[in-house]
Amino acid sequence: EDKVVQSPLSLVVHEGDTVTLNCSYEVTNFRSLLWYKQEKKAPTFLFMLTSSGIEKKSGRLSSILDKKELFSILNITATQTGDSAVYLCAGKNAGGTSYGKLTFGQGTILTVHP
């Protein structure tokens, strides 16, 4: 059974801090690893990582994938209160009838205090 585990489950920091969120995965026919930010209901897409060792960046957020260790991290530098959300990582399946299916981790709740 496919499994994605995130850590920590929750994190409380102050504005300006840097955080690292972790994601480990075991996904059959793995294709890519996705990160989403969920503030209210709809998860919003952040990154999709397919190749090992290539960092993806968007402003203060960056992410990297290690396909040998089955691991990904999401970094947020100079955190702001608007970064407070649940961060979800998901492994994408690329095989057979499960094409494109996402297996999500339980999420990391990030709280940024002013």
Chain residues binding another protein by CB under 8 A are: 4, 6, 31-32, 34, 36, 40-45, 48, 50, 88, 90, 92, 94, 97-107
**Residue 54 burial (CB count, 10 A):** 10
The answer to whether 61 touches 46, Cβ cutoff 8 Å, is yes
**3-state class (DSSP) for residue 42:** coil
| Helix, strand, coil percentages, rounded to 5, for the chain | 5, 60, 35
CB of 31 or CB of 67, closer to another protein: 31
In the chain, how many H helices and how many E strands?
0, 11
Give 44 or 69: the residue with its C-beta nearer to another protein: 44
Please say which residue, 29 or 75, places its beta carbon nearer to another protein: 29
CB of 56 to another protein, least distance (A): 12
State the minimum distance, in angstroms, from the CB of residue 64 to another protein.
17
The residue length of the chain stands at 114
Between residues 79 and 93, which has the closer beta carbon with respect to another protein? 93
